[in-house]
Structure 1
C-alpha cells in the first residue's frame, strides 16, 4: 500500500479551465476512477455514457485526459451492514496527456 507521501493530487478541470475538485491517488488512473464515480450513474455499464475527464497534476503542467463512466450495481451478498443495497462503480480509459502553456 502506498504511503501518504506517495500520493499525488489531481485537479479536475472543466472545459473553460476552472478547477472544481481535487482527487488524490498514487497514479493518475486512481484519481480518475474516483472522479468517474462522481458522475451520474447509468442503470448498467452497457448503458453508461462516457464523459471526458481532464485531471491536472498539481505542481506540473500535465493534464491527464480520460473517458470515464459510472453505473449502479447491486452490492455483493457479503456486504457490511452499513453499505447500501446499490453501489456506484466507475471505469476510465486513458486518452492521452496534454501539456499546459501556463497554470
Structure 2
C-alpha cells in the first residue's frame, strides 16, 4: 500500500512472525534499513561472507521481497555531528527474488 508521501511499508518476516516495520519508496530502501539492525561484523568483506537472508512483506499485498543482507562497523566520518559515536553501522543488501504468500 502506498502512503500519501509515496513511501511503502514493509514488515520483516522471521519464522512466520512479523514484527519490525520499515518504510521506503522502494523495497531495497527498506531492506537497507533492516540490514543495519543485523549484528555487525568488523569489516565489509567479512560481513558479506556472513550474509543473512531477510524477508520483507509489503503491507497490503502478498509479496515477500527476499534479500541477502550484511552489516559492518566502520569509523564515523570526520564531519560527524556531536551526538554520533566514533563507530557507525553500515549495511548492504542484494535482492534474491520475490515470493507470493498463499495464506
Common topology (TM > 0.5): yes
Q: Which runs of 5+ in 1 are unaligned?
A: none
Instruction: Provide the rounded CA distance (Å) in 2 between the counterparts of 1:4 and 1:94.
Output: 26
TM-score, normalised with respect to structure 2: 0.92
Instruction: Provide the rounded CA distance (Å) in 1 between the counterparts of 2:34 and 2:60.
Output: 19
Alpha-carbon deviations, 1:45-98, whole Å to 9, x = none? 011110000000000000000000000000011111111100000000000000
What's the counterpart of residue 8 of structure 1? 8
What's the counterpart of residue 96 of structure 1? 97
What's the counterpart of residue 81 of structure 2? 80
Instruction: Provide the rounded CA distance (Å) in 2 between the counterparts of 1:5 and 1:19.
Output: 24
Q: Which runs of 5+ in 2 are unaligned?
A: none
Following superposition, which runs of at least 4 residues in structure 1 exceed 2 angstroms of deviation?
Answer: none
Alignment of structure 1 residues 24-39 onto 2, 5 Å? 24-39=23-38
Deviation at 1:5, TM superposition (A): 2.3
Instruction: Give the aligned length.
Output: 99
More deviation, 56-65/4-13: 4-13
TM-score, normalised with respect to structure 1: 0.92
